[in-house]
Amino acid sequence: MGKSKTKIYKSYDSNILEALFVKYGLSKYYIRQCVSGAVHGITPDSIKKDYDIMQKAHKDVIMNLIQETLK
């Protein structure tokens, strides 16, 4: 018997994808490809960098809200 293979799909934050869609005017499919590293170039590098910055800022806001509610 062969091993069954299951594909693991990576999920991206839809709010950040929407913000990048508005900023760059490119399709969300292309933006997801850029973030995953499937596409190479200057613009995909900028999109990936912006996604990482936005994701870090989003996590920081969430952590601040959690700390405020625990006080």
The string of pLDDT tens digits covering residues 28-39 is 999 999 999 999
Domain boundaries along the sequence of the chain: 14-70
The tokens describing 36, both together, are 């995953």
> Residue 1 pLDDT more than 70?
no
Whether the model pTM is above 0.95: no
Give 7-30 pLDDT, tens digit per residue. 777 789 999 999 999 999 999 999
Cα 65 from chain centroid (whole Å): 21
* Calpha distance 68→66 (Å, rounded): 5
Provide the 10 A C-beta neighbour count for residue 16. Answer: 19
Better pLDDT: 54 or 71: 54
* Calpha distance 63→41 (Å, rounded): 33
pLDDT score recorded for residue 2: 59
The tokens describing 63, both together, are 């952590």
Give the mean pLDDT of 60-68: 93
